[in-house]
Homo-oligomer: A and B are copies of this chain.
Amino acid sequence: MIAAESGAPALEPAFDAGRRLAEYETLLEIGVKLAGSLDVETVMELALENAEEVCRAETSSIWELDEESRELFFRVVRGKAAGAIRGLRVPLGEGIVGSVARSAEAEVVNDVAADPRWHGDPSGDFQTRAILAVPLIAQGKVIGVVQLLNPVDRDRFTAGDLWRMRQFATVLAPTLQNARLWASQQRQFFHMVTALAEALEKRDPYTGGHVRRVVAYSVLLGSEMGLAREELRDLRLAATLHDVGKITTPDHILGKPSPLDAEEVAIMRRHAADGASIVSHLSNPWVLHGVRSHHERVDGKGYPDGLTDPEIPLAARIIAVADAYDAITTSRPYRAGLPAERAAAEILAGAGSQFCPRVVAAFRALFESGGFSLERAEAAVEAISEPEPHP
Name A's B-contacting residues (CB within 8 A).
Answer: 17-18, 20-21, 24-25, 27-28, 31-32, 35-36, 38, 138-139, 167, 170-171, 174-175, 178, 181-182, 185-186, 188-189, 191-192, 194-196, 199-200, 202-203, 244-245, 247-248, 250-252, 274, 277-283
- A28 contacts which chain B residues (CB < 8 A)? 24, 27-28, 31, 167, 170-171
CA distance A252 to B25 in the complex (A): 69
CA distance A191 to B196 in the complex (A): 16
Contact B282–A192 (Cβ < 8 Å): yes
Give the contacting residue for A281; candidates B188, B247, B251; CB below 8 A: B188
CA distance A247 to B251 in the complex (A): 11
Given contacts A28-B171, A35-B175, contact A281 B138 (CB under 8 A): no
Q: How far is the CB of A181 from chain B (nearest CB, A)?
A: 6
- A25 contacts which chain B residues (CB < 8 A)? 24
CA distance A255 to B34 in the complex (A): 54
CA distance A351 to B121 in the complex (A): 67
**New contact pairs (19) apart from A28-B167, A181-B182, A199-B274, CB-CB < 8 Å:** A28-B28, A31-B31, A31-B35, A35-B35, A35-B174, A36-B139, A38-B178, A38-B182, A185-B185, A185-B186, A192-B278, A196-B247, A199-B245, A199-B248, A202-B248, A203-B247, A203-B248, A203-B250, A251-B252
CA distance A278 to B279 in the complex (A): 18
Given contacts A248-B199, A251-B252, contact A281 B191 (CB under 8 A): yes
- A171 contacts which chain B residues (CB < 8 A)? 28, 31-32
Contact A21–B17 (Cβ < 8 Å): yes
CA distance A280 to B188 in the complex (A): 9
| Residue of A21, A36, A192, A247 with highest tally of chain B CB at under 10 A | A192
Contact B196–A278 (Cβ < 8 Å): yes
- A251 contacts which chain B residues (CB < 8 A)? 250-252
CA distance A245 to B198 in the complex (A): 12
Contact B250–A199 (Cβ < 8 Å): no
- A167 contacts which chain B residues (CB < 8 A)? 28
Smallest CB-CB A-B distances: 4 pairs = A191-B281, A35-B174, A24-B24, A192-B281
CA distance A171 to B175 in the complex (A): 12
Given contacts A21-B20, A31-B31, A188-B283, contact A247 B278 (CB under 8 A): no
CA distance A178 to B178 in the complex (A): 8
Closest chain B residue to A249, Cβ basis: B203
18 A-B Cβ contacts within 8 A? Answer: A17-B18, A17-B21, A20-B21, A21-B21, A21-B24, A24-B25, A28-B170, A28-B171, A35-B178, A36-B174, A38-B178, A178-B178, A185-B186, A191-B281, A196-B244, A200-B248, A247-B247, A251-B251
CA distance A21 to B244 in the complex (A): 57
Given contacts A28-B24, A32-B170, A35-B174, contact A188 B282 (CB under 8 A): yes
